Amino acid sequence: MVEDLSDVIFELSAAQGPSQPNVITITRTGYASAPDATGNMPEVPGESFTATASVQPGAGRQLELQPEGGDAAEDVTLYLVPDRPDRVILPTDRAAKRRGDYVTLGDGQTYEVVEAHDWRATAGYYHCVVRRRHE
């Protein structure tokens, strides 16, 4: 069961009160329509959009469930609402060799979406786990 916490989440997202929400930038990597000689889909310029978010440290039990090779200390939990209702948040898809959306938080760091749950129909927001990227 999913509980509607949207009022609480928007209060948590306020940087200096409810009138100043925490706005983050999400960048989607684009991919060519055909694979290259190695079978990978080449990256091409994608799109960027914004979302209102509550940024939380990763929770212990949730982080235990992360994919192998992940560093739980690098993970952050987001509850977010994209700027438009038709926006979809995409996580990493290893089988499709596709990177997840990139999220730039207020600390200036870039994170990759490794898990995304669309709870908009029941709670009005996405629940995501993002992992800090090291360039």
Domains of the chain: 6-132 (2.40.10.270)
pLDDT digits (tens, 9 = 90+) for 60-89: 555 455 555 555 668 889 999 988 888 889
- Give the residue among 88, 94, 90, 97 at the shortest CA–CA distance from 67: 94
- pLDDT above 50 (res 96): yes
Query: What phi, psi does 122 have (nearest 5°)?
Result: -105, -35
Report CA Rg, the chain: 15
Whether residue 103 contacts residue 115, with contact meaning beta carbons closer than 8 Å, is answered with no
pLDDT digits (tens, 9 = 90+) for 3-23: 555 554 444 444 433 444 588
